[in-house]
Amino acid sequence: MATLFAVGVGPGDPELLTRKAERVLRHADVVLAPVSNPVEASVALETVREFLDEGRQEIVVHQFPMTADPARLIPAWNEAAALIAGRIAAGKDVAFITIGDPLFYSTFIYLLRIFRENYPHIPVEVIPGISSINASAAQALTPLVEGDERMIVVPATAGIDKISEALARYETVVLLKVKPVFADILELLRQMGRERSTVFVERVGSARQKVLTDFAEIAAYSPDYLSLMIIR
């Protein structure tokens, strides 16, 4: 039976795609790329475009609104699930591509829930991808954890109190989605004396990659949405 593949394409560098991900993408009949804004290019699609045969494969770019409003989210996800289920019923393998890893803060997680509930007969296979965290640590030459150290990943949008608590309890703190509260994070790091142990990475693996280790440079920078901080 045809299969739904969730393919993690890594942080944006085509060379960081796994061999399995490349094989699945080359053989899929349909490739579906999620976007939050229809006027913006899909980072995932641009990452893998060189592996696709757009003359043979159907490329679908589907919008998933960046909102917490279930009245907008649920219809978009159900529409995508129905589209995929229809292609699979026609005997076509579908590859749903996502930056990073499909099960790590990914849009695919919501889709997986729908398939488990509404389409349990459809096979689903997840192809892991390199996360932006691992890629960022590699680019900054920054060890994440060693020995008995512990690491926590916190979406910065969880709030300054959660970030402060994490910094007090864990040897390594990785902050995702730092843009909305960037100024507050910087002030917290100053108060806690953590300026020298902070690394900032933006759009890792892409042509627009930025790696900053000097706190003054970090503080003077205006971050992009696809940015994170590693604090040791």
- Which pLDDT does position 93 carry in this prediction? 98
The two structure tokens encoding residue 153: 């990943």
- In the three-class reduction of DSSP (H, G, I as helix; E, B as strand; rest coil), residue 191 is classed as helix
Q: Encoding tokens for residue 84?
A: 């995929």
Q: Whole-angstrom Cα distance, residue 232 to residue 216?
A: 17
The domains located in the chain, with CATH, are 4-127 (3.40.1010.10), 132-231 (3.30.950.10)
pTM (predicted TM-score): 0.91
pLDDT surpasses 80 at 167: yes
Mean per-residue pLDDT, 5-10:
97
Residue 67: per-residue pLDDT: 66
Q: How far apart are CA 192 and CA 97, in angstroms?
A: 39
Dihedral of CA atoms 157, 204, 112, 103 in degrees, nearest 10, equals -80
**Three-state DSSP class for 166?**
helix
Residue 93 neighbours by CB under 8 Å, 6+ apart: 2, 3, 4, 5, 27, 28, 29, 30
Question: 53-108 pLDDT, tens per residue?
Answer: 999 999 999 887 776 677 778 888 999 999 999 999 999 999 999 999 999 999 89
